[in-house]
Chain A
Amino acid sequence: MRLLQIFLVMFACAISGTASANCQAVAKMVSFDGQVSVKPAGKVLKTSPGALPRTLCAGDEVHTFEGRALINDGRSAVALDRFSVVAFNAAGRAALDKGLALFEVKKRTAEAGVEVKTRLSVIGVKGTRFLVGDKNDDVSVVLDEGVVDIASTQGPVGLYREKTVTRPPDEDYESYARRLAEGVAGEQAAFEKYKTQVQREFVAYVENLTLAAGKELVTAGRIAVERDISGESAKAIKSLCTWKDKQH
C-alpha cells in the first residue's frame, strides 16, 4: 500500500513536471472580480481563471468584461480595468491590446526594467506607477509617479504640448466668443474650441520621449499630445489603486 502511495505521488509529480515544462510561467493572477477570462497562448477558447493564484504562461491573455483582475509578474503589479485585454509575453513584458491597465513597478526590481507594448508605442519603465489606456483610436500613457520612456512603434510622431488655459486673454477671447457663439452654451462651446487652438503647441517630431510624473501622453495616429494628467485619468488611477489596495 505504501509503495502504491509512493508511486501515485511520483506519477503526480511527473504529470505536474510535464505540465510545467509546457508552460513558461511569467505572471500570476492574484485576484479578480466580475467576469474575467484567460485565453491560453495559441488557443481560441477562453477559460475561467479557476483557483487563485492562477499561473499565466508566456503569451496568455487576460480578458476582463464586467470585472477587474490583478496580475503580478514579479516586477510589477498590473490592475486590469473593465473590458480590457492584456497579454503577458515574458517576465516584465506585457502588451495592452485593449482597455485600461494600471502598472505599478516595484522599486526593488527596477534594474530589470518593465516594458509595456501598445498598438502605437513601447513604454520602458524603471520604478514608477502609470496607467496605460487603449480606447477607440488613441493610446494614452498617464504617469502618476516616476519616469517612463516611450518609443513610438510607427516612426516619428508630431509631439504637441498643451498648456493649461484657465482664463483666455480678455479682449482676444471675447471677440472670438462674440463671433462664434450666442448665449452661455455657445460661449462654452466657443471657449472649448478656443482652448484646443491656443493650448496646443507643436514641439517636434519624435520617436522617443521621456514622460515626467504628473503628465500624460495621448497618441492618436501620428500625433502625440503631452499634457497634465486629466481629471478623467486621475479618477481612473484612483479607482484602480483603491481596488488594487482592497485586494491585499
Chain B
Amino acid sequence: MPPGMVEHMVEHMVEQIASRMHLPLSRSEFLNLAGSMAALGVLLTLLFHWQPGPVAALASAVSDTYYRYNPHAPSRDIVFVAIDHKAVQRFGRWPWQRQHVAAGIEQAREAKVIALDMVFSEPTDPVQDKALGAALARATVVGGYLLNGVRNARPDADGMARLANSALTDTQDVQLIESEEVELSIPEVLAGQAALAPLNTLADKDERFRHYPVGFVLLGMVQPNLGVQTMQIFLDAQASLRGGAGVAFNSATLAYGDRIVHLDARGFTRLNYYPEASFHTISYADLFAPGFQPASLKDKVVLFGITEAGVADIRATPLGQYPGPLMHATFMANVLGGHGLYELGTAVMAAVILLALILTLAVTQIRQIVVRAALYIGLAAVAYLAALLLYRQAGIWLESAYLMAAVAVAAMLIETSLLSHSKKHTEQLRLAFSTYLPPGLVNRIVENPEQLKLGGEKKEITVLFSDIRGFTSMSEGVSPERLAEIMASYFQPMTEAVFDQGGTLDKYIGDAIMALFNAPLDLPDHVLAACRAAIAMQYAQIRINQTLVQGGAKALKTGIGINCGPAIVGNLGSSIRFNYTAIGDTVNLASRLESATKKLGVDIVIGESAYLRVKDRLPCRALGEIQVAGKEQAQPVYELCWKMVADPLTGKILEPESAGPAAVQPAAINPTEAENHA
C-alpha cells in the first residue's frame, strides 16, 4: 500500500472523529436535552390549554401590554351617553325619576339604534313609567336585562314572548352559558323596547375583563348580548352563530354577513380595548345643553350607561378601571372597525411553542456563553415583538408569555446540560491526559480546552524514542516481580524527565518510551525541550543504575532518538478505542534513530532537522549518514553530547548559555564503519 494512501485514510478517520467531536453535547446528552425540551413543550401547551389561574394571570400580565399599542380608534358612529358626575349634579343621584330618562331618550331618538346598559326592574310612578315606555317606543331601543340580577325570576308569558323575539335562531353547535332566570324591566318599559339583550359580562380567572360573551342560552333560547343585538339592528344584518369544531382551533364565529367575530369554545371573544378617552362620549347633562343638536346623533348607535362613581359598574380591564358600558361599546367598535381579535387555539399554540424551543435548541451550537445569553434574551424579545406585530397588523392574539417561558426554561435546561457536559468533559480531559501529560499541562488543557485540537491535525512536532539496550538478556535472569520493580523505578524518573520539559508521554512500548513535544499543546522551543528531556533521561539512567547495581542487578543503558518534523497528531484509533498519538515519517525516523544508537555507539542520536534547531545551543557531533528503512536517501545523524550539558554530580541540566559554545566535533568513525566494527 502506498504511504500516501495510509496518510489519506488516517486523515479521513481523524476528520470523522473531529466532526463528531465538534458537537457541544454528546449524542445521548443532546437526546436527553431534546427530550426535556419536548416535555417542556407539552407542559406549556397543557398550561395554555387549561390556563390555571396564576399561570393565566402571569401570561396576561405580559400580553395585556399589547393594548398600549392598539393602532385603532373606535368608530365615531358609536356615541356613549354617560350618566356621569355632571349629569348626577344636574338630575340628582341615580336612579332618577323616569321622566328624566325619557327626556334623554327623546333627545337621542334620531339615532339608528339606542342601547340601554340599564334595567328598570322596579315600578315607580305609573305615569312616569308609561312616559318612559312611550319615549322608548318612539325610538329603536335595545333594552338590557340581567341574568344574575337581585330580582331574578322566570319571565311571564309577555316576557317570554319578548325574549323569543330577541333570540338568535341562526345558530349551530353553540356552547354558551345557560340560565333559567332573568331580571327584566317592568312591562311598561319592556313594551317600548324593540329588542332585549342581556348585559352580563364575565371576568377572566384573574378577575380582569378581557373577553366578551356574545350570548347566553336562556330557557333554551340563544340571547345575544347587548353589543351583538345592537349591531344586528345597526348593520341590518342577522347574526349567525357557529360553534367551534373543538378546542384545538378557535373556529367558532359570530358573523354579520362578511363581518366575522372570532370566538373561543365558550362563545367569548377577546375585546380589543381602546383608551377610554378615545370613545365619542357625551355627558347625559349635555343632551340638554343649549347648543346640543339631536340631529348630531342621526343614524348613530347611542349607548346609554352609567359612569358616576359609586353607581357605575366599573370593571378591571387590561387598561385599568373601565366603565362597564364601554365593554359593550368596545365590542361594537371592534365589529364596525374590523378590529376584532383572533386568539390562537391550542394546536397552533403548540406548534408555535415547538418552534420557539427548536430555535432555542439551536443556540447550543454557540460556544460563548455571553453570545448564548444574548441570543436567549433576543429570542424572548423576538417572541414578544412578533406577538405584538401580529396583534397590531393582523389582529392575531398570541400569548407571548408562553413562548418567553419556553425560551427561559429551555435556556436553563440547555445551560444545565452544557454545564454538566463541561464538568464531565473536564473530568474526561483530566483523566485522559493526566496519564501522558504533566499536571501543569493538564490544567492548561482543562482551563483552555479550545487550545486543544483533539480531532487530529498536521503539525510540526518533536518525537523522542527511548529504549533500554540489552533489556531482553537482562530480564531473563530476573524474576517477574523484580522485573516489574525495576521497570517501575526506570519509567518513573524517565517520564518525569519528559514531563519536566513539557513533553507528552505518548505511550510505553514494552521497555521503550515514546514522547511528543509541541502536541497537544504548543511548546515554543519543542526541539530544545526534547533534547533537554533526553539529557535528563541519561542522567536519570545513571541514578537508576546506581540503585540497580547496589541491588545486585546489572546496569542498564538507554538509547534515545530524537527527530523533528511534521506529523499527524490527534485521537487516532477506532470508535471502540482510540488514544492521543502521532503518526508519520517524523515518528518513524525518530524510532529509527533510537535504533541506530546502538550501532553508532552513542546514547542520543538526533536527526538533521532537530540538529539545525539546537546546534548553536547544545553540543552536537555529526555522525555521518545512515540508511534507514522507508527512506531512499541516507539520513544525516548527529550525536547529542549530553555529558557536556549537565552537572556531573546532580545531573541537573545547565542552561544552554552556561554550557558554553556548541562543541561540534567531527564523527570519530563513519557510522557504516561503526556498524561494521559492531
5 closest Cβ pairs, A-B complex: A35-B164, A46-B165, A37-B165, A65-B164, A48-B161
B195:A65 contact, CB within 8 angstroms: no
A35:B195 contact, CB within 8 angstroms: no
Within 8 A of A (CB), among B86-111: none
Q: CB-nearest residue of chain A relative to B161? A: A48
**CA of A136 to CA of B163, assembled, Å:** 24
**CA of A136 to CA of B174, assembled, Å:** 11
Interface string of B147-185 (1 = CB under 8 A from A): 000000000000011111111011001000000000000
User: Which residues on the A side are within 8 Å of B170 (C-beta)?
Assistant: 85, 97-98
Interface string of A22-41 (1 = CB under 8 A from B): 00000000000001110000
User: Which residues on the A side are within 8 Å of B219 (C-beta)?
Assistant: 65-66
A44:B233 contact, CB within 8 angstroms: yes
B238:A44 contact, CB within 8 angstroms: yes
A65:B167 contact, CB within 8 angstroms: yes
B138 to chain A, nearest CB (A): 16
Q: CB-nearest residue of chain A relative to B218? A: A65
**CA of A44 to CA of B169, assembled, Å:** 11
- 17 residue pairs of the A-B complex, CB under 8 angstroms, read A37-B161, A44-B232, A44-B233, A44-B236, A46-B164, A46-B165, A46-B166, A46-B167, A48-B161, A48-B162, A48-B164, A48-B165, A67-B164, A83-B220, A85-B169, A85-B170, A98-B169
A126 at the interface (CB under 8 A from B): no
B195:A45 contact, CB within 8 angstroms: yes
User: Which residues on the A side are within 8 Å of B238 (C-beta)?
Assistant: 44
User: Which residues on the B side are within 8 Å of A68 (C-beta)?
Assistant: none
A63 at the interface (CB under 8 A from B): yes
Q: CB-nearest residue of chain B relative to A46? A: B165
**CA of A65 to CA of B155, assembled, Å:** 14
* Interface range for B: 20 to 34
A230 at the interface (CB under 8 A from B): no
**CA of A60 to CA of B620, assembled, Å:** 120
B161:A35 contact, CB within 8 angstroms: yes
A199 at the interface (CB under 8 A from B): no
B47 at the interface (CB under 8 A from A): no
The residue in B167, B169, B195, B232 that gathers the most chain A C-beta atoms within 10 A of its C-beta is B169
B221:A65 contact, CB within 8 angstroms: yes
B134 to chain A, nearest CB (A): 18
B208 to chain A, nearest CB (A): 33
A46 to chain B, nearest CB (A): 4
A143 to chain B, nearest CB (A): 26
Question: How many inter-chain residue pairs (CB < 8 Å) link A and B?
Answer: 50
Interface string of A67-100 (1 = CB under 8 A from B): 1000000000000000101000000000001100
B221:A35 contact, CB within 8 angstroms: yes
A47 at the interface (CB under 8 A from B): yes
Q: CB-nearest residue of chain A relative to B256? A: A44
User: Which residues on the A side are within 8 Å of B162 (C-beta)?
Assistant: 48
User: Which residues on the B side are within 8 Å of A44 (C-beta)?
Assistant: 232-233, 236-238
A37-B161, A136-B173 given; name 10 further pairs at CB < 8 Å. Answer: A35-B164, A44-B236, A45-B165, A45-B233, A46-B167, A48-B161, A63-B167, A65-B219, A65-B220, A66-B220
Q: CB-nearest residue of chain B relative to A66? A: B220
**CA of A35 to CA of B220, assembled, Å:** 11
Choice from A37, A85, A136 contacting B164 with Cβ under 8 Å = A37
B83 to chain A, nearest CB (A): 26
B194 at the interface (CB under 8 A from A): yes
Interface string of A98-123 (1 = CB under 8 A from B): 10000000000000000000000000
A47:B165 contact, CB within 8 angstroms: yes
B164:A45 contact, CB within 8 angstroms: no
User: Which residues on the B side are within 8 Å of A136 (C-beta)?
Assistant: 173
B113 to chain A, nearest CB (A): 10
A99 to chain B, nearest CB (A): 9
Choice from B163, B173, B236 contacting A35 with Cβ under 8 Å = B163
Q: CB-nearest residue of chain A relative to B195? A: A45
B174 to chain A, nearest CB (A): 12
**CA of A47 to CA of B221, assembled, Å:** 15
A32 to chain B, nearest CB (A): 10
A34 to chain B, nearest CB (A): 8
A87 to chain B, nearest CB (A): 11
User: Which residues on the B side are within 8 Å of A65 (C-beta)?
Assistant: 164, 167, 219-221
User: Which residues on the B side are within 8 Å of A63 (C-beta)?
Assistant: 164, 167, 169
**CA of A45 to CA of B162, assembled, Å:** 11
B241 to chain A, nearest CB (A): 12
User: Which residues on the B side are within 8 Å of A36 (C-beta)?
Assistant: 164
User: Which residues on the B side are within 8 Å of A47 (C-beta)?
Assistant: 165
**CA of A36 to CA of B169, assembled, Å:** 12
**CA of A74 to CA of B406, assembled, Å:** 68
**CA of A33 to CA of B9, assembled, Å:** 95
Q: CB-nearest residue of chain B relative to A47? A: B165
**CA of A37 to CA of B163, assembled, Å:** 10
User: Which residues on the B side are within 8 Å of A67 (C-beta)?
Assistant: 164
**CA of A117 to CA of B166, assembled, Å:** 26
A221 to chain B, nearest CB (A): 15
**CA of A37 to CA of B165, assembled, Å:** 6
B320 to chain A, nearest CB (A): 35
**CA of A182 to CA of B164, assembled, Å:** 49
**CA of A47 to CA of B237, assembled, Å:** 16
User: Which residues on the B side are within 8 Å of A85 (C-beta)?
Assistant: 169-170
Within 8 A of A (CB), among B115-172: 160-167, 169-170
A130 to chain B, nearest CB (A): 23
